Amino acid sequence: MKIERFEDILAWQEARKLVNMVYEVVKNNPIFQKDFRLCSQITGGAVSVMSNIAEGFSRKTRKEFINFLFIAKASAGEVQSLLYVCLDQYYISKEKFNELYNQADKTARLISGFISYLIDKSKTTQKTQSTQRTQGTQSTPYD
């Protein structure tokens, strides 16, 4: 499948699920809602995963995109860490913790796989361009 929009990226789709899961937990717990700082941080972290994938996709270079994917992956880790705070403060059950933690982990793994794919693709592209320069051939945009 060709990726034409950030919405086509599986990691973004899973990050969106994570955002909705986090917001659902916050909306359904009035006691949790009173912890403004934690609510803001965990929702912001989840939104950051999704947003950094989209923002990176909109950048001009693959290198910039990869950097934004690393930030998105780090934000998924932040959400996982904050989930422990939620669990320790009894804002969420162990079952809900596992559900959210696993979704953040799934998203982070997809991001890691996508980063690896883009890095490998960059190496292949560089190798092809180097070979073409050595051989005196040039590629077209359609190669």
| Residues in the chain, overall count | 143
Q: How does residue 1 score in pLDDT terms, banded at 50, 70 and 90?
A: confident
| Cα(111)–Cα(9) distance, integer angstroms | 9
Structure tokens at 130: 């180097």
At residue 143, does pLDDT exceed 50? no
Please say if the pLDDT value at position 42 is more than 80: yes
Which amino acid type is present at position 76?
A
- Across residues 39-64, what is the average pLDDT? 96
DSSP letter at 58 equals: T
> Is 93 in contact with 108 (CB distance < 8 Å)?
no
> Which pTM was predicted?
0.85
pLDDT in tens, 76-116: 999 999 999 999 999 999 999 999 999 999 999 999 999 99
